[in-house]
Structure 1
Amino acid sequence: SMMEKLGILVAFAVFLESVSAASLGVVSTEGGMVEGQSIRLGFNRRMDVFRGIPFADVPGRFEKPKPHPGWDGVMKTKEYKSRCTQVNMLMNDVRGSEDCLYLNIWVPHGKSVSFELPTMIWIFGGGFLAGGSMGANFMDNYLYSGQEVADRGNVIVVTLAYRVGTLGFLSTGESDLPGNYGLWDQQAAIAWVHRNIRSFGGDPDNITLFGESAGGASVNFQILTPHNKGMIRRAISQSGVAACPWAINKNPRSFAEEIALKVGCPTDQNMAACLKMTDPMKLTMAGALDLSSSADHPVLNNLLLSPVIDGDFLPDDPSNLFSNAAEVDYIAGVNDMDGHVFTGLDIPSINSPLLETPIVDVKRLLASYTKEGPTALDYAYSTYTAEWGSNPSWETIKKTVVAIGTDYIFLVPTQVTLYLHASSATTGRTYSYLFSEPNRMGGIARPYPSWMGADHADDLQYMFGKPFSSPLGYWPRHRDVSGYMIAYWTNFAHTGDPNIGESGVPVAWPKFTSYGHEFLEINSKMDRNYVGQRMRIRYVHFWASVLPNLANAISK
């Protein structure tokens, strides 16, 4: 009969689906069994997603993370866990939980279950003050969903959480409260992945870290610390390295005393003990970022809850630790207007087409960055205005402000870092990029000037494939640049060479060498003309060598 035939067809379809449906099902980890969610991506392709796997126990306040005690039965890992305790966007309230050390895993499968895939571990940014493993959520579309990267690049994607703000980075500079708790959390997650990823189809000997902003600096710290020896094969730092002026607090004690005063603790030998007993919400609010800033007091100088040289995680200044990364393949780069979001807070007129930006503001910002008095300021000013002519346009002056911020806060430290890595590398390869896809808010709607390039964090939407997962919000060119970025990044995870892997790329990206300083400019229009050399070398030379020598001459 018709019904019988239909029944047989349905049964056959179910059978076919189950044959082609590769899924891990219940996975056994060191703490116990976990079960994620299996999603269908298309013909013969599925993905397992695990959200909220614990990689450490609930951490003690101002203590290193401890191993998770484990659980009985099967833990359902289908929901993101709460982010770590942190201030909200407006800096007027606290969100999150101290129970937050969880990670998320995306595993792609073809006809059969995946085996020995490269694993990419994402470390989020947020100034060491805020952020979560899943990223901002817009209509259930999480920014750091690893689905597109995992599917398009055939890699496992892991996103991790770590303590931020006061609870993650407060330090007295002494052994009673040494700091770097957030870095230890990241390290515990990396070690967990190294020990457990084989059960998920990953290759523990092919782990790539990637991260942006404070996450990019964290990636750099993780390859420099002796505590990760042999665990990390490759790494990518986007708009943030250990050498950035905001990445290390060289004098943590004074800020710890400020926090102590705010929460009513003494600043003597009892300070650490009192801080450990203080309400975590109060501690977190006390570490909120002061957003009031000006050209004389850039907002950058308020980022004081950062990693410290503690003699343990960081035994020395990062610039002396590059031998630890000698065998790590490394990509580092910046966005062409990374400094815009910061300089726009310090000098708001740069974003207004109706207001002139006074030249005195340019000088004030330079003075607050160079910090070495009139000689250094004159040298800096003549370096940045050499091509102005006698009557610079408003736009030229505004763009110069953004360039100064971009160079000082991100670009120059990144170039110095690439140079340090390339010159101390043995087998490790080095690659440099400049991301320049113009900001989508620039021009027509005009919350931003029409001359805007790529602002800080503009690369994230492309990195995580949003033009594919939310196609209505983007143009075809945005899908192009997103596809290029995912291809380079995941090829690099597979082979250590961004040009070679499972994805085709639009241009061959040359290695960065200590003599040629080659880099790739990434945007939707890229072709072979987008390979460059010696990125902004005059300005790198000024900040990295002229200014320090001037400072020495002045102090003598």
Structure 2
Amino acid sequence: MAVLRILVALSVLLEIISATSLGVVSTEGGMVDGQNLFLGFFRYMDVFRGIPFADIPKRFEKPVRHPGWSGTLKTTQYRDKCLQLDALMTSVSGNEDCLYLNIWVPHIGSVASNLPVMVWIHGGAFMFGDAMGIHFLDNYLYSGQEIADRGNVIVVTVGYRVGSLGFLSTGDSTMPGNYGLWDQQAAIAWVHRNIRSFGGDPSNITVFGESAGGAGVSFQALTPHNKGLIRRAISQSGVSLCPWAVNRNPRKYAEEVALKVNCPTDDSMAACLKMTDPKVLTLAGTVPLTSSADDPFVNNLVLSPVIDGDFLPDEPSNLFHNAADIDYMVGANDMDGHFFASFDVPSINFPLLVTSVDEVKALLGALTKEKGTAGLENGFSTYTIDWGSNPSLETVKKTVVAIETDYMFLVPTQATLYLHASNAGTGRTYSYLFSQPNRLAAVTKPWLGADHADDLQYVFGKPFSTPLGYWPKHRDLSGYMIAYWTNFVKTGDPNSGDLRVPATWPTFTSTGHRFLEINSKMDAGYVGQKLRLRYVNFWTSVLPSLPTVYLK
């Protein structure tokens, strides 16, 4: 027994002595020194927080390379988020000096070498968010530690300009917009140029993101400016074809902001906006928080990317040839629209309140407005075909959520999958539907499936890092998702890699339309085909074929 204790002590001592780390790393801007973590036997991780990937951005201009620094930059603290409004749009926080990224590098047995790289683009309606995400104490949502450790990949999270400073556009060359997208692109390019020094493979970069970040991933894959930089992409609950992802009349909103900050709306508008205090500008870039069934919240999301003739030289649907050789995994949550439907039809969240048929019609009428009565009638018959003569309260509530989910997320996702597959060269296409029920709604809304952003906690391994908040089934699910995601990152095939998966995920083709349903109960039978075909057909074929009555 004494000999065994001595051997164990010696092994621990050897482990401590042989701690594995990159040490100080040389980047194009200078030397950086992060933090080394001991995670377990022969498992270490270097974490670099707050590395600048561009200089402090000039207002309404593209980012430029950082001039560099002397000495060694200590990168052990997260940096400020980009200047932005609070959730109630009444105050401003953050900093214009915000173009920083964070890197997690796993060392499993030996120092990292030639590892695949995952670059995370956060969501937040192009108005909110940062590279770390919400946090309690030091537990950040977007910590890359669990993915990096379990999947043996490098994880990078990036900050980018949001709100007025990131996406305000005059619709012409004086202030073309898309500054937040250019920031994302600058971060991807920095990773490509520098990640080899961190043990990464610059030829194997996957960009992944959720919601507005998922749309950002989509834009980054479609722009000609990323040719050769991105090998794979993952869009979760957001693509470039979503109705909220592109503002086709940015001048109108820019003039509204200009009037709020006492700037003219003529040819001198851009010059005046550039000289306006950044906090005042940010505070002026609000959107209404009120909505209703006949004026849904999605119509308020106007501070978004634009077709500028540069980053986006054409409509996104015409740019898929640029992503022909990028492997692409795309999916949505089965009730992604619930969060937004809660604004438009609040009664859905109260079990004893009736959600009326009139509210369903008002919502459909608003979303099909340009097609007039014919759009409403066709939509209503499509969504109520299974109602019967006396639908339950729950059925009507779920129909409202389904309408918003389909319109805002699921149908644009299916259209994106089809365009990617039909334009593909070497790029493979994978489709998923995430359906794990919302953990907080079991009592008040037992019918609620996966709400918007419910997938994030599982992708980032929260059931492992905060085990007391989850059940074993949630750890199973998180393990499945990390396996699929990191296998895909390594090989372009979510089934092939170092981690086992519970079901074989087939490719999506322009004729087969197969997808994987992801939840904690999944097994080999969780493969489907032609997801919500009746509803996809309505939004992509039936509705567009109807004569236009009102212009948008």
Matched, 1:342 2:340: yes
Shift of 1:11: 9.5
**Which residue of the partner structure matches residue 238 of structure 2?**
240
Distance 1:97 1:245 in 2: 29
Q: TM-score, normalised by structure 1?
A: 0.96
Please show how residues 381-400 of structure 1 align to structure 2 within 5 Å. 381-400=380-399
**Which residue of the partner structure matches residue 507 of structure 1?**
503
Please show how residues 117-136 of structure 1 align to structure 2 within 5 Å. 117-136=115-134
**Which residue of the partner structure matches residue 329 of structure 1?**
327
**Which residue of the partner structure matches residue 486 of structure 1?**
482
The Cα offsets for residues 6-62 of structure 1, whole Å up to 9 and x where unpaired, read as 99x99996554222x110000000000000000001000000000000000000000
C-alpha change, 1:56 and 1:528, in structure 2 (3 Å) is same
**Which residue of the partner structure matches residue 413 of structure 1?**
412
**Which residue of the partner structure matches residue 265 of structure 1?**
263
**Partner secondary structure for residue 486 of structure 1:** helix
Distance 1:41 1:296 in 2: 53
The Cα offsets for residues 168-202 of structure 1, whole Å up to 9 and x where unpaired, read as 00000000000000000000000000000000000
Of 545-554 and 223-232, the range deviating more from structure 2:
545-554
Letter matched to residue 500 of structure 1: S
Distance 2:231 2:211 in 1: 21
**Which residue of the partner structure matches residue 218 of structure 2?**
220
Matched, 1:549 2:549: no
C-alpha change, 1:10 and 1:487, in structure 2 (3 Å) is closer
Residue 147 of structure 1 is aligned with which of 137, 145, 148? 145
Matched, 1:297 2:295: yes
Distance 1:316 1:12 in 2: 60
**Which residue of the partner structure matches residue 362 of structure 1?**
360
Structure 1 vs Structure 2 CA RMSD: 1.6
**Partner secondary structure for residue 267 of structure 1:** coil
**Partner secondary structure for residue 328 of structure 2:** strand
Residue 523 of structure 1 is aligned with which of 496, 513, 519? 519
**Which residue of the partner structure matches residue 375 of structure 1?**
374
The Cα offsets for residues 396-419 of structure 1, whole Å up to 9 and x where unpaired, read as 100000000000000000000000
Please show how residues 104-183 of structure 1 align to structure 2 within 5 Å. 104-183=102-181
Of 282-291 and 487-496, the range deviating more from structure 2:
282-291
C-alpha change, 1:427 and 1:470, in structure 2 (3 Å) is same
Shift of 1:275: 0.5
Letter matched to residue 541 of structure 1: N
**Which residue of the partner structure matches residue 3 of structure 1?**
none
Distance 1:545 1:311 in 2: 28
Distance 1:57 1:222 in 2: 21
Distance 1:100 1:58 in 2: 7
Report sequence identity in percent.
Answer: 70
**Which residue of the partner structure matches residue 447 of structure 2?**
451
**Partner secondary structure for residue 201 of structure 2:** strand
**Partner secondary structure for residue 237 of structure 1:** strand
Shift of 1:90: 2.0
Distance 1:10 1:549 in 2: 74
Shift of 1:281: 0.9
Distance 1:122 1:164 in 2: 15
**Which residue of the partner structure matches residue 462 of structure 2?**
466
**Partner secondary structure for residue 103 of structure 2:** strand
**Partner secondary structure for residue 349 of structure 1:** helix
Distance 2:426 2:209 in 1: 22
**Which residue of the partner structure matches residue 33 of structure 1?**
31
Return 5+ residue gaps in structure 1 as ranges: 1-5
Distance 2:440 2:507 in 1: 33
C-alpha change, 1:336 and 1:10, in structure 2 (3 Å) is closer
Letter matched to residue 156 of structure 2: V
Letter matched to residue 455 of structure 1: D
**Partner secondary structure for residue 529 of structure 1:** coil
**Which residue of the partner structure matches residue 97 of structure 2?**
99
**Which residue of the partner structure matches residue 67 of structure 2?**
69
Shift of 1:553: 8.9
**Partner secondary structure for residue 57 of structure 2:** coil
**Partner secondary structure for residue 332 of structure 2:** strand
Distance 1:551 1:56 in 2: 48
Letter matched to residue 310 of structure 2: D
Shift of 1:285: 1.0
Task: Name segments (4+ residues, structure 1) moved above 3 Å.
Answer: 9-16, 551-555
Distance 2:141 2:156 in 1: 14
**Partner secondary structure for residue 391 of structure 1:** coil
Q: TM-score, normalised by structure 2?
A: 0.97
Please show how residues 418-457 of structure 1 align to structure 2 within 5 Å. 418-444=417-443, 446=444, 449-457=445-453
Return 5+ residue gaps in structure 2 as ranges: none
**Which residue of the partner structure matches residue 351 of structure 1?**
349
Distance 1:13 1:245 in 2: 56
**Which residue of the partner structure matches residue 272 of structure 2?**
274
**Which residue of the partner structure matches residue 58 of structure 1?**
56
Distance 1:439 1:289 in 2: 27
Distance 2:137 2:48 in 1: 20
Distance 1:498 1:209 in 2: 15
Distance 1:552 1:326 in 2: 33
**Which residue of the partner structure matches residue 18 of structure 1?**
17
Letter matched to residue 499 of structure 2: S
Letter matched to residue 488 of structure 1: Y
Shift of 1:443: 1.9
Letter matched to residue 417 of structure 1: T
Answer whether contact 2:457 2:463 (CA < 8 A) is retained: yes
Shift of 1:551: 3.4
